[in-house]
């Protein structure tokens, strides 16, 4: 048993400054008086903390208005010209970059095809940096930091393994991305996260899924981001959510991870396309829209496998909601129905599990990477 | 985004009292001066909080000794005659009761066979209350509270479902146990938990598994208790850890939960006994010791199924350690070797997952139920 330190005063000012900033974010436009009423802080404390936030460029004062008492009210809001977040995604077959402002609004965004399976890490970073320069130029905001999304297992800032990018192994992506992006963002700090985790955070910000859900990202790989109590659940080392390598058929086909019968081999987009005898996601989505029988059979089988793995995850994690994201939202009702069916049959408790479809689709991870920077700023 | 309340002073005294108590628990015997040095509190504050803890019977003062300065030192320790925790377990085929003192030491314990599959809830509670009266009498401590362990899904104090006790559905076990136990413990508060969760807490207290692990309880059912950062992980509703109903073979045999091919059907003790063609756990353990081929084949197959499910759980939860508990520790090396093999093959990251065997065995849940009461007292 470890004794913690006593409650002290030294973190109180910082805590209260973050509290004021979050109150502005939640209730903008809002007066100093309303902030004081809402937080329980004195008006003097609020004024002093607001002065700091104005000086840091985080909040802005709107034109002076007359309050109910006739005194000036000067409502505050987040500064739309204040520091923004740069999101960068390096996927298996694409790169993207995006800038959001302090409110989370997208100010510039680009996605481009760029295959990385057989190319070195440096090529992926260079392609991403090119897009980053474009979006930063277009957005015209100072960059507070960079969030990088990658399709692999991330722990302590290191990309340990990306089964679909075999040469990306134990890569210190934070340091490498910081070096490549320095001409674009100067010394702004870089953080890295698993793409499904960052997509789940974007889904959380979008709000429809609530504070407790499992987001599953359907791509070449299948990953999950788990949100519990409104926060990303990382497990003990930050690697949680490798749903793609949960086994759905112990004697099934070999997987890129070295295992056998992983979900990814049954419900990854490439395997679904192969089963549906189509070339790519566009063709698969088109075939699903036309109710083409081979495609529907493939989606049904993939959906049942996905449902089996998701039921296991729900039984282990106790989450009330599952969000189908990545490429899955484009694949129609058949896949979703199979997921719903397996969850109803296999989840132990009786409350039904809600199955939602992500509204953000393929750009969710990119959006989450950018907004994670802004959340860091707002959390002080 | 919800704004939290500002840091205030109103919880500080309570926080500091708990801090002093935890310091006594961690470092006993310990002087007031050392508590002050270790916590950063003033000596006056420590003396005043210690006086409260002495009055509440939570700590005791040892015989006065001379400190280095020649002044009396009066070391403090947890009060061995202070309030203890009563643990009660109602299993599928057994009941148990146990009293631990504030240090977690067992002061009295009884376990008895008692089958509940086809009997009503009241019978199980009555059998448990009988044992509880015996251990409380024997221990001779005031009872601070009761922890009840049950083999099912618990949320908000309600036993929602126990697949192996079909009539125990949506039972308010807290209220029912409090009524039945009132003659034994008066109005002491009752809490309830899943047996695997409580066993995992006992395993955590025993210390060998560290602060991050998944404990799997092998019984008629198979459950898991997940400890992350030294705390029980409950998921969003407290139901997390239903490992027994993770699918290991989608086309496998029907399960009591209504699903098909659940782990419980491949690695639950009754199914292992059936596959090994023996009557019960004692016979299975004996056959394993004798390296009887049918038993070894059954344990190998069960171990592989367990390993497949555990690999999925590790991929989802990122835990570095798995603890085999309940009846599994009695089943020898073959089952464990199969688990190790599947984890090595199927966990995505490279760090090997440690596989430990629980030292507490079948009484872990009972012990955890009792110590959970004491932890509640110590946490203030």
Chain B residues 252-281 with CB within 8 Å of chain A: 257-260, 262
Q: What distance in Å separates the CA atoms of residue A192 and residue B233, rounded to the nearest whole number?
A: 25
Residue A195 DSSP class: H
Asked whether residue B220 falls in the same domain as residue B337, the answer is: yes
| Per-residue burial over A93-127, b = 16 or more CB atoms within 10 Å of its CB, e = otherwise | bbbbbbbbbbbbebbbbbbeebebeeeebeebbeb
Query: In this structure, is residue B348 part of a structural domain?
Result: yes
pLDDT at A72: 59
Cβ–Cβ below 8 Å for A161 and B4: no
Task: Please name the member of B2, B40, B311 whose beta carbon is closest to the beta carbon of A6.
Answer: B40
Task: Please name the member of B41, B249, B346 whose beta carbon is closest to the beta carbon of A259.
Answer: B346
Cβ–Cβ below 8 Å for A258 and B155: no
Task: Please name the member of A8, A243, A349 whose beta carbon is closest to the beta carbon of B239.
Answer: A349
Query: In this structure, is residue B289 part of a structural domain?
Result: yes
Asked whether residue B99 falls in the same domain as residue B31, the answer is: no
pLDDT at A1: 35
pLDDT at A332: 86
> A357, A324 in Cβ contact below 8 A?
yes
Contact residues, chain A, for B225 at CB < 8 Å: none
pLDDT at B9: 59
Asked whether residue B163 falls in the same domain as residue B269, the answer is: no
* CATH code for the domain of B43: 1.10.10.10
Asked whether residue B277 falls in the same domain as residue B325, the answer is: yes
- Total structural domains in chain A? 3
Domain end point (choices B46, B78, B110): B78
Asked whether residue B230 falls in the same domain as residue B167, the answer is: no
A4: number of CA atoms within 13 Å, CB side?
8
> B107, B84 in Cβ contact below 8 A?
yes
Query: In this structure, is residue A24 part of a structural domain?
Result: yes
pLDDT at A259: 86
* CATH code for the domain of A234: 3.30.420.40
Asked whether residue B61 falls in the same domain as residue B95, the answer is: no
Closest CA–CA distance from residue A122 to any residue of chain B (Å): 23
Mutation for testing the A interface, residue in B348, B353, B379 having most A CBs under 10 Å: B348
Phi, psi at A119, each rounded to 5°: -105, 155
pLDDT at A358: 95
Query: In this structure, is residue A278 part of a structural domain?
Result: yes
Asked whether residue A112 falls in the same domain as residue A155, the answer is: yes
> Consecutive 10-residue runs of chain B (380 residues): their mean pLDDT?
48 90 94 93 94 95 68 84 97 95 96 90 93 97 97 90 89 95 95 96 92 96 96 92 93 89 96 96 96 97 97 96 96 95 89 91 94 90
Query: In this structure, is residue A6 part of a structural domain?
Result: no
Q: Among all residues of chain B, which has the CA nearest to that of A2? A: B26
Task: Please name the member of B38, B160, B313 whose beta carbon is closest to the beta carbon of A349.
Answer: B160
Enclosing domain of residue B137? 84-197+365-378
Query: In this structure, is residue B243 part of a structural domain?
Result: yes
- The CA distances from residue A135 to A110, A130, A147, A197, B328, in Å, are 7, 9, 14, 23, 57
Q: Is A106 on the interface with B (CB under 8 A)?
A: no
Asked whether residue A220 falls in the same domain as residue A351, the answer is: yes
Asked whether residue A310 falls in the same domain as residue A216, the answer is: yes
Cβ–Cβ below 8 Å for A250 and B249: yes
Q: Which residue do the tokens 């190998």 mark?
A: B300
The torsion defined by the Cα of B240, B242, B248 and B253, in degrees rounded to 10, comes to: -150
Cβ–Cβ below 8 Å for A7 and B12: yes
pLDDT at B29: 93
End-to-end distance of chain B based on CA atoms, in angstroms? 30
Query: In this structure, is residue A4 part of a structural domain?
Result: no
Closest CA–CA distance from residue B285 to any residue of chain A (Å): 27
Contact residues, chain A, for B378 at CB < 8 Å: 1
Domain end point (choices A61, A78, A95): A78
What confidence tens digit (pLDDT) does each residue in A252-262 have? 999 988 888 99
Chain A residues 126-165 with CB within 8 Å of chain B: 153, 155, 160-161, 163
Cβ–Cβ below 8 Å for B245 and A318: no
Chain B residues 14-33 with CB within 8 Å of chain A: 15-16, 19, 22-23, 25-27
Asked whether residue A224 falls in the same domain as residue A276, the answer is: yes
> A99, A143 in Cβ contact below 8 A?
yes
Q: Which residue do the tokens 């807490």 mark?
A: B201
> B79, B102 in Cβ contact below 8 A?
yes
pLDDT at B2: 39
Query: In this structure, is residue B4 part of a structural domain?
Result: no
Contact residues, chain B, for A311 at CB < 8 Å: 245, 247, 259
Contact residues, chain B, for A260 at CB < 8 Å: 345
Residues with Cβ within 8 Å of B63's Cβ and at least 6 positions away in sequence, in order, are: none
- pLDDT under 50 in chain A at which residues? 1-7
Asked whether residue A237 falls in the same domain as residue A310, the answer is: yes
pLDDT at A350: 66
Mutation for testing the B interface, residue in A21, A311, A317 having most B CBs under 10 Å: A317
Q: For residue A356, how many other CB atoms are within 10 A of its CB?
A: 18
Residues with Cβ within 8 Å of A20's Cβ and at least 6 positions away in sequence, in order, are: A35, A39, A41, A46, A49, A50, A53
ipTM confidence: 0.86
Asked whether residue A240 falls in the same domain as residue A311, the answer is: yes
Closest CA–CA distance from residue B182 to any residue of chain A (Å): 30
Contact residues, chain A, for B3 at CB < 8 Å: 19, 22-23, 26, 38-39
């Amino acid at each position: 048993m470890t004794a913690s330190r006593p409650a002290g005063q030294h973190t109180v000012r910082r805590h209260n400054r973050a509290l004021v900033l979050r109150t502005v974010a939640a209730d903008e436009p809002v007066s100093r008086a309303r902030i004081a009423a809402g937080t329980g802080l004195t008006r003097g404390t609020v004024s002093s903390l607001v002065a700091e936030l104005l000086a840091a460029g985080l909040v802005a004062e709107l034109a002076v208005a007359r309050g109910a008492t006739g005194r000036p009210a000067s409502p505050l809001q987040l500064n739309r010209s204040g520091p923004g977040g740069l999101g960068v995604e390096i996927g298996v077959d694409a790169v993207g970059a995006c800038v959001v402002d302090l409110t989370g609004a997208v100010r510039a965004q680009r996605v481009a095809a760029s295959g990385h399976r057989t190319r070195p890490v440096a090529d992926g970073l260079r392609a991403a940096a090119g897009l980053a320069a474009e979006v930063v130029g277009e957005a015209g905001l100072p960059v507070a930091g960079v969030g990088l999304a990658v399709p692999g297992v991330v722990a302590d800032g290191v990309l340990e393994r990306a089964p679909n990018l075999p040469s990306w192994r134990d890569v210190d992506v934070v340091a490498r991305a910081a070096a490549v992006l320095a001409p674009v963002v100067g010394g702004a700090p870089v953080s890295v996260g698993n793409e499904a985790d960052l997509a789940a955070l974007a889904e959380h910000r979008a709000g429809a899924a609530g504070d407790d859900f499992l987001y599953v990202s359907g791509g070449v790989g299948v990953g999950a981001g788990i949100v519990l109590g409104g926060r990303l659940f990382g497990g003990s080392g930050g690697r949680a959510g490798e749903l793609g390598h949960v086994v759905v058929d112990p004697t099934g086909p070999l997987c890129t991870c070295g295992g056998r019968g992983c979900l990814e081999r049954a419900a990854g987009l490439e395997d679904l396309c192969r089963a549906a005898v189509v070339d790519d996601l566009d063709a698969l989505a088109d075939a699903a829209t036309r109710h083409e029988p081979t495609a529907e059979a493939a989606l049904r089988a993939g959906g049942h496998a996905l449902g089996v793995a998701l039921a296991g995850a729900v039984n282990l994690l106790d989450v009330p909601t599952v969000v189908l994201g990545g490429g899955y939202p484009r694949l129609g009702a058949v896949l979703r129905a199979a997921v719903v069916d397996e969850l109803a049959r296999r989840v132990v408790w009786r409350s039904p599990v809600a199955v939602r479809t992500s509204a953000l689709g393929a750009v969710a991870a990119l959006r989450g990477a950018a907004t994670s920077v802004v959340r860091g700023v707002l959390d002080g």
